[in-house]
Amino acid sequence: MALTAGAPESHSRPLPSVWTSADAAGTMQEALEALDTYKKKDLTKVVVRFKAVGNAPIMKQNFYKISASNRFQAVIQFLRKELGWKAGDPLFTYINLAFSPAPDDTVANLFKSFSTDGHLIVNYSTTAAWG
């Protein structure tokens, strides 16, 4: 369809506006409920299995239940505490021998995406094992 100069488009329509529609109160209520749901802490637990890679020390117990709402940073801190490592000691963590998750990823998201046999497998090493 070719438009000529000065000719308005013949099939224009007004854009709906959520803030001026009749059901704006309902939409606002839905938004507030979604925010409340997001703010609630997930009380479910996720089974995390730690596996040593390379010359990392093997843990006596390698299955732990961790709150799903925790960030992966909490898993790293927990692992450091269990191994007796200081903050400056090198520790590299990987999910399923494949990638290193960001510390701000939630355990729930990692579990939903990468769980194996109902466990989130976290491999740890003292040296960089994978890119």
Per-residue model confidence as pLDDT tens digits over 88-115: 889 999 999 889 999 999 999 999 999 9
What's the pLDDT score for residue 3? 47
pLDDT, position 31? 80
The whole-model pTM stands at 0.67
CATH: 3.40.50.300, 3.30.465.10, 3.10.20.90, 3.50.50.60. Which one for 45-125?
3.10.20.90
**pLDDT, greater one: 14 or 87:** 87
User: Are 60 and 86 a contacting pair, CB within 8 Å?
Assistant: no
CA-to-CA separations, 23 to 8, 17, 20, 29, 52, in angstroms, rounded: 32, 11, 8, 10, 56
Q: State the amino acid at position 5 in one-letter form.
A: A
Q: Rounded distance, CA 92 to CA 84, Å? A: 15
The 10s digit of each residue's pLDDT in 11-62 is 666 555 555 555 666 677 888 887 776 666 667 899 999 999 988 999 999 9
